[in-house]
Amino acid sequence: MKPLAELLSTNDVGELLEHIRSMTALVERDGTLVSWNPAFEVCRKLFPTANNLQDFFPQNDKNRVTSGLASKTEEHWIAKLPAPLSEAEIFIYCDCMLIPISEEHLLFVAEEVNSESAFQEVIERLNRQVKLFQIESEVSKKIARNKQIEMEGVMIQAQEVAQIDALTFLLNRRMIVRKLQDEVLRAERYNSLLSISVVDVDHFKVVNDTYGHPVGDEALRQVAGQLQDHVRQPDIVGRYGGEEFLILLPSSDANAAAEQAMRLCKEIRKMIIPINHSEQALSVTISVGIAQFRKGVDTWDTLLSRADTAMYKAKNNGRDRWSTAD
């Protein structure tokens, strides 16, 4: 069987780049943009004065871009970029590649990492890089030091990816439960306040059944964004599972958690979720269950169970509201 590249014409490749969702751009060796596809145009709209590839990345990723531009081999890294084909200013994790195609030009490709399997693939590739750096570090002390710095960066990225929920980019279930356990131990040891809120999207099954899972996924992403944007700096938000989220409120009593729940219900109620790029849109509501930690009585799982029971009480009372555990 002939390689696909041999069977495609220049027109075929051009047509393909126009329609794929991956952000693709041709750049010069100094990073100057030459040409790009429609998916990359999202970045151009958010950064209208940017003419160099480095201008689209946060400060901590600029060194990776500079290294990739100077390299004669393909470079990979994970970075946050604007979501392709989205009219809203939504940032997503992308698997970024810089591929040399001539002495003067490189091809930049950024592909969204949006599933558990994709995240796992990235983790495995990063782990392979770590092993390669470990082998190379034996060559010389000077190379070992440079590779050690690079390896530490890759390991930090791999650890961060393993802690993130692939859909919402909040902490995943394992990490939010670990944070809950840590906060309960801290509250017990220092006799400090702690409250938690269990948040559930109302009638979410109806949303999935009526509009399809892509719309349901978008609803969860937007709810997650509102939760993250409208909690205090010390508070921690994670996706507990399905359409359920967990908020930890250190140094807060149930009254403070209730005030927060009132704000969250209001903000979620105002959300407008587009349906399949049509003029239609939908809105959702949430039910919130609140529980305050009782020293000497609660463990992390009994605290969580009390908040979950309060959440179902809010649903039984009509949804789009909150309830506090006894």
For helices 300-316 and 173-190, angle between their N-to-C axes, nearest 10 degrees: 110
- Entry pTM: 0.59
Quick one: 177 and 314 in the same domain? Answer: yes
Is residue 244 in a domain?
Answer: yes
Mean pLDDT within 82-108: 77
Quick one: 216 and 262 in the same domain? Answer: yes
For helices 141-162 and 116-136, angle between their N-to-C axes, nearest 10 degrees: 170
Q: What are phi and psi of 39, to 5 degrees?
A: -60, -35
For the domain that residue 295 is a member of, what is the CATH number? 3.30.70.270
The CA distances from residue 3 to 7, 8, 13, 15, 102, in Å, are 7, 9, 14, 18, 20
Quick one: 303 and 194 in the same domain? Answer: yes
* Mean pLDDT over the full length of the chain: 85
Is residue 270 in a domain?
Answer: yes
**Selected residue with higher pLDDT from 180 and 41:** 180
Mean pLDDT within 281-294: 96
**Which residues lie closer than 8 Å to 120 by C-beta, 6 or more apart?**
none
Quick one: 105 and 119 in the same domain? Answer: no
Query: Phi-psi region for residue 184, left (φ > 0), alpha (ψ -120 to 50) or beta?
Result: alpha
Calculate what percentage of the chain has a pLDDT beyond 70.
80
Spatial distance between the Cα atoms of 288 and 34, rounded to a whole number of angstroms: 50
Is residue 209 in a domain?
Answer: yes
For the domain that residue 73 is a member of, what is the CATH number? 3.30.450.20
Q: Among 92, 113, 134, where does a domain finish?
A: 113
* Per-residue pLDDT tens digits for 52-88: 988 888 777 788 888 888 888 888 878 877 765 555 5
Quick one: 197 and 309 in the same domain? Answer: yes
Domain extent at residue 143: 115-162
Quick one: 89 and 227 in the same domain? Answer: no
DSSP string, 104-117: SEEEEEEEE--SHH
Q: Among 162, 194, 225, where does a domain finish?
A: 162
Quick one: 98 and 195 in the same domain? Answer: no
Tell the residue number behind the tokens 């390299």, with chain if given. 71
Strand partners, 248: 196, 236
Mean pLDDT within 192-216: 95
Mean pLDDT within 299-308: 97
Is residue 3 in a domain?
Answer: yes
Active site residue 138: no
In terms of C-beta density within 10 A (0-12 exposed, 13-18 middle, 19 or more buried), how is residue 44 classed?
middle
Quick one: 187 and 308 in the same domain? Answer: yes
Q: Among the options 89, 124, 243, 244, which is catalytic? A: 243
In terms of C-beta density within 10 A (0-12 exposed, 13-18 middle, 19 or more buried), how is residue 192 classed?
middle
Spatial distance between the Cα atoms of 95 and 36, rounded to a whole number of angstroms: 17
Identity of the residue numbered 129: Q
Quick one: 105 and 144 in the same domain? Answer: no
pLDDT at 144: 61
Poorest-confidence range of 5-19, 73-87, 92-106, 184-198?
5-19
**Of 261, 272, 123, which is closest to residue 196 (Cα–Cα)?**
261
Quick one: 9 and 70 in the same domain? Answer: yes
Is residue 26 in a domain?
Answer: yes
DSSP string, 221-256: HHHHHHHHHTS-TT-EEEEEETTEEEEEEET--HHH
Number of domains in the chain: 3
**Selected residue with higher pLDDT from 164 and 157:** 164
Q: Among 162, 195, 227, where does a domain finish?
A: 162
Strand partners, 273: 282
Is residue 168 in a domain?
Answer: no
Is residue 194 in a domain?
Answer: yes
Q: How confident is the model at residue 143 (pLDDT cuts 50, 70, 90)?
A: low
Q: Are strands 286-292 and 321-324 parallel, antiparallel or unpaired?
A: parallel
Spatial distance between the Cα atoms of 86 and 17, rounded to a whole number of angstroms: 17
Is the pLDDT confidence value at 324 over 70? yes
Tell the residue number behind the tokens 């440079």, with chain if given. 146
pLDDT at 89: 56
pLDDT at 58: 77
Mean pLDDT within 18-31: 86
Quick one: 132 and 180 in the same domain? Answer: no
Quick one: 85 and 127 in the same domain? Answer: no
Is residue 218 in a domain?
Answer: yes
